Structure 1
Amino acid sequence: MLKNRNTPSQCERILIHLQTGKSINPDQASNLYGCFRLSARIYDLKKPGFDIDSRLVHENVIQYAEYSMRGVN
């Protein structure tokens, strides 16, 4: 299926998610938005100036980044 102009991009959907005050990790991005390269989408959002924080999460032997937007409650 091809993306049409009315379909928000992964970046747009992730940005909306972050703007609601929620954090996002790679597992959530994959499940919710079909995004398998969350760090690349976060990079794309940071380029125009969106203020996004990252933190490293350690769960047992698994390590991943979790992203949130600064100044959003």
Structure 2
Amino acid sequence: MTQTERVIKHLKEYGSITPLEAIREYGITRLGARIWDLRDLGYDIETQTETSKNRFGEKTSYAKYVLKGGVKNESLQRHR
């Protein structure tokens, strides 16, 4: 299974994914690139900015990618 296939499977199962989840669960360090690939295939994925505190108690922001629907153009769907 490719990284892109793992990401879309995760999005379909859980609805969203963060970079930390991608690293921990799948060893994917370039989640943004995989999201770009999925968008290029027609998937409707929204980027939301989340905020939290890091291990030093400092405020930090990160991306959360949310699957908004299926594929905008079904003819583009290659990953199931």
TM-score range normalised by the length of the shorter chain: 0.7 to 0.9
4+ residue segments displaced more than 6 Å: none
Displacement of 1:27: 0.3
Displacement of 1:43: 0.3
Report matched runs for 1:16-35 at 5 Å.
16-35=9-28
Which residue of structure 1 lines up, in the alignment, with residue 29 of structure 2? 36
Which residue of structure 1 lines up, in the alignment, with residue 75 of structure 2? none
RMSD: 1.3
Which residue of structure 2 lines up, in the alignment, with residue 4 of structure 1? none
CA distance in 1, matches of 2:64, 2:15: 10
Unaligned stretches of 5+ in structure 2? 54-58, 71-80
Report matched runs for 1:45-64 at 5 Å.
45-60=38-53, 61-64=59-62
Check the 8 A contact 1:55/1:66 in 2, yes or no.
yes
Choose between structure 1 and 2: higher helix proportion: 2
Choose between structure 1 and 2: higher strand proportion: 2
Which residue of structure 2 lines up, in the alignment, with residue 67 of structure 1? 65
TM-score, with normalisation over the residues of structure 1? 0.81
TM-score, with normalisation over the residues of structure 2? 0.75
Check the 8 A contact 1:21/1:68 in 2, yes or no.
no
Check the 8 A contact 1:56/1:66 in 2, yes or no.
yes
Which residue of structure 2 lines up, in the alignment, with residue 3 of structure 1? none
